Amino acid sequence: MAGSAVRVPAARLEAARGWRPDEAQVATALIALLGATLVVIIALPLWSLLSKSFQDGAGAFVGLRNYLIYFSTPTLFASLLNSVWVAALSTAIVVPLAFVYAYGLTRSCMPAKGAFYAAALLPIFAPSLLSALSLIYIFGNQGFLRHWLLGASVYGPIGIVMAEVLYCFPHALLILVTALSLSDGRLYEAADALGTARRRVFWTITLPGARYGLISATIVAFTLVVTDFGIPKVIGGQFGVLATDAYKQVVGQQNFPMGAVVGMILLLPAVLAFFVDRFVQRRQVALLSSRAVPYQPKPERGRDLAFLGYAISVGGLIVATYGVAVWASFVTYWPYNLSLTLKNYVFENAEPGGWEPYRNSLAMAALAAAIGTALVFTGAYLVEKLKVFPAGRAFAQFLAMLPMAVPGLVLGLGYVFFFNAAWNPLNVFYGTLTVLVINTIAHFYTVAHITATTALKQIDPEFESVSASLKVPFWRTFSRVTVPICMPAILDIAVYMFVNALTTVSAVIFLYGSGTKLAAIAIVHMDEAGFIASAAGMGAVIMLTAIAVKLAHIALNRFVFERLQAWRKR
């Protein structure tokens, strides 16, 4: 009778019950703590921004007066129009470019798809303004191709649009590749069997199938351009846009209420995009039945060569542009003395802190990755897997999804108003690394949260039930089972946080202090002071660091998760 031999005596069970902390209470407390944290790092800063836009400089409520001033001041209103048309033009260029590229990657048999994919993703690993710096080297006053512009200046809308197209290309591409790979191969087989003409197949099957992807890519590109700060700052010249206006109002003129109004206007397209995107996502999922068969392209010489040629020119252009910036950073005196030198990397000549901003960036990115990943993953676990306190979990879920709709610049403004407020005891953190780390975590919270939630949803929901029946508290199963299983997703989150923390400019530009300037901000300052080569050098250092981290991530995935952990499914 094996079963009864080791039966735990009732008395001992009772004793065990005595010292064990109450799981439900711990869970409730943790969910409450998560909610409170998200309120502080997301909700209150946004609230500060909102309320600030209805106050005068002294903090008195003035209703819509700031908005009236905004719309009746021609220079401010002009920036709004500038932002809209520049974003519309950039989007109109980048989405078709990326669509054809994505089509080649998914629907043709062109060679070296991996390399072309990687080439197109390059801009993700650099601050947005690096593409602008590059364009200055190419088309600027000393640019070797400036005559191509037929006398027009690259400083202004032309430069902004070109740089934004480069910067947004990978973001649009990722969405379009996903949309095009979600197609059902059986539709094409059916069309083939019916002898449908090639052109008709494209217009009746391919394009409708990818239409949600196209909508999504359009919205994402438009929002990225409208809310981007780095590129117009570097290459915009006298051409005002919303993002640079917000910066000028807050940093230059200390006009916080007007900065808040610009922030609120910047919030509009992003919030709109957020809702359209969620609608589109839902439809996109419904599009693909579970029995769909992925489309497998067949080799076809002419078509494959055409797409190869296209990929070489577009992918090559991207790599070349960023390559110029890296090259120029090693050049003695562009374009007159092209001998190579390391003097531009002696940042002390261009920036009082020397290499310190880079070290700050590394520290900030490492902390944001470590703390942010722990917070996001634990938070997603509490929301997704626990049963107690449903209202608290729903509230936390809502706040976790909010940053998606908030551009970095807007969140940064909110942080200025919240963490700089005299009444706020947290204002001791203003200008410290702490506030930069918190802001970065909040800025990139949503994507990380979605990654964590997706991974958690794939785990058997009964693990919690089993451990409860075995009297093992949930936090033990969390650390012993859930975290190890989700390690690849956790690493994804950490790398995502790290890379974005390195490259972001928009949110942190308002928040750094004397000893906490970041590398991406140092680029802005060196560029302002005319040290373009050093600015490009700092950009190159950031980009190479981000790429190195990504490569390490890939290596870790290949060798640890796929080879050493035998228990993982392939």
| Chain residues that interact with another protein, rule: CB under 8 A | 1-4, 6-8, 13, 16-17, 20, 22-24, 387, 460, 462-463, 465-473, 476, 480-481, 484-485, 565-569
Q: Which is nearer to another protein, 112 or 466 (CB)?
A: 466
Q: Which is nearer to another protein, 327 or 475 (CB)?
A: 475
Say whether 339 sits in a helix, a strand or coil: strand
At its nearest, how many Å lie between another protein and the CB of residue 559? 17
Which residue number, 47 or 475, has a Cβ lying nearer to another protein?
A: 475
Q: Nearest approach, Cβ of 457 to another protein (angstroms)?
A: 14
Specify whether the CB–CB gap between 431 and 513 falls below 8 A: yes
Residues whose CB falls within 8 Å of the CB of residue 321, separated by 6 or more in sequence, listed in order: 131, 134, 135, 138, 166
Residue number with CB closer to another protein (2 or 60) = 2
- Rounded to a whole number of angstroms, the minimum distance from the CB of residue 498 to another protein is 25
Measured CA to CA in angstroms, residue 72 lies from 76, 78, 394 at distances of 8, 10, 41
Q: Are 418 and 44 in contact (CB under 8 A)?
A: yes
Spell 407-426 as b/e; 16+ CB within 10 A means b.
bbbbbbbbbbbbbbbeeeee
Task: Select 142 or 557, whichever has its Cβ closest to another protein.
Answer: 557
Question: Please, which residue, 9 or 299, has the CB nearer to another protein?
Answer: 9
Structure tokens at 4: 């009864």
Nearer to another protein, 300 or 562 (CB): 562
Q: How far is the CB of 556 from another protein (least distance, A)?
A: 17
Q: Which DSSP letter does residue 252 get?
A: I
| Inter-CA distances, 390 with 5, 376, 383, 400, 476, Å | 41, 18, 9, 15, 22
**In 3D, which of 292, 296, 287, 305 has the Cα closest to residue 106?**
296
Specify the DSSP class assigned to residue 486. T
Smaller CB distance to another protein: residue 484 or 515? 484
The rounded distance, in Å, linking the Cα atoms of 325 and 540 is 7
User: Which C-beta is closer to another protein: that of 155 or that of 478?
Assistant: 478
Smallest gap, in angstroms, from Cβ of residue 407 to another protein? 37
Give the C-alpha separation, 487 to 145, whole Å: 48
How far apart are alpha carbons 150 and 180 in whole angstroms?
Answer: 38
Omega of the bond leading into 473 within 30 degrees of 0 (cis): no
Q: Which of 178, 169, 166, 393 is nearest to 280 (CA)?
A: 178
Nearer to another protein, 47 or 463 (CB): 463
36 φ, ψ (degrees, to nearest 5): -65, -40
Nearest approach, Cβ of residue 390 and another protein (Å): 12
Q: Which run of H or of E encompasses 118? A: helix 113-121
Strand duo 337-340 + 331-333: pairing: antiparallel
Residue 483 Cβ, how far from another protein at the closest point, in Å? 9
Tokens of 312: 């070489």
Among residues 348, 316, 328, 349, the alpha carbon closest in space to that of 132 is found at 328
Shortest distance in whole angstroms from residue 9 CB to another protein: 11
Residue 22 or 189 with smaller CB distance to another protein: 22
Contact (CB, 8 A) for 450 and 424: no
Element (H, E) at 558: none
CB of 497 to another protein, least distance (A): 24
Contacts of 408 by beta carbon, 8 Å cutoff, 6+ apart: 227, 229, 443, 504, 505, 506, 507
Q: 457 or 476, CB closer to another protein? A: 476
Nearest distance from C-beta of residue 31 to another protein, angstroms: 16
Please report how close the Cβ of residue 461 comes to another protein at its closest, in angstroms: 9
Helices (H), 336-432: 356-385, 390-401, 408-419
Residue 489: CB minimum distance to another protein, A = 14
The least distance separating another protein from the CB of residue 479, rounded to whole angstroms, comes to 12
How far apart, in whole angstroms, are the C-alpha atoms of residue 100 and residue 105?
9
Query: 54, 129 in Cβ contact below 8 A?
Result: no
E strand or H helix at 331: strand 331-333
- Tell me the C-alpha distance between 535 and 543, whole Å: 12
Q: Which is nearer to another protein, 352 or 461 (CB)?
A: 461
Record the tokens describing residue 168, joined without a space.
């947004």
- Nearer Cβ to another protein (15/529): 15
Q: At closest approach, how far in Å is the CB of 292 from another protein?
A: 24
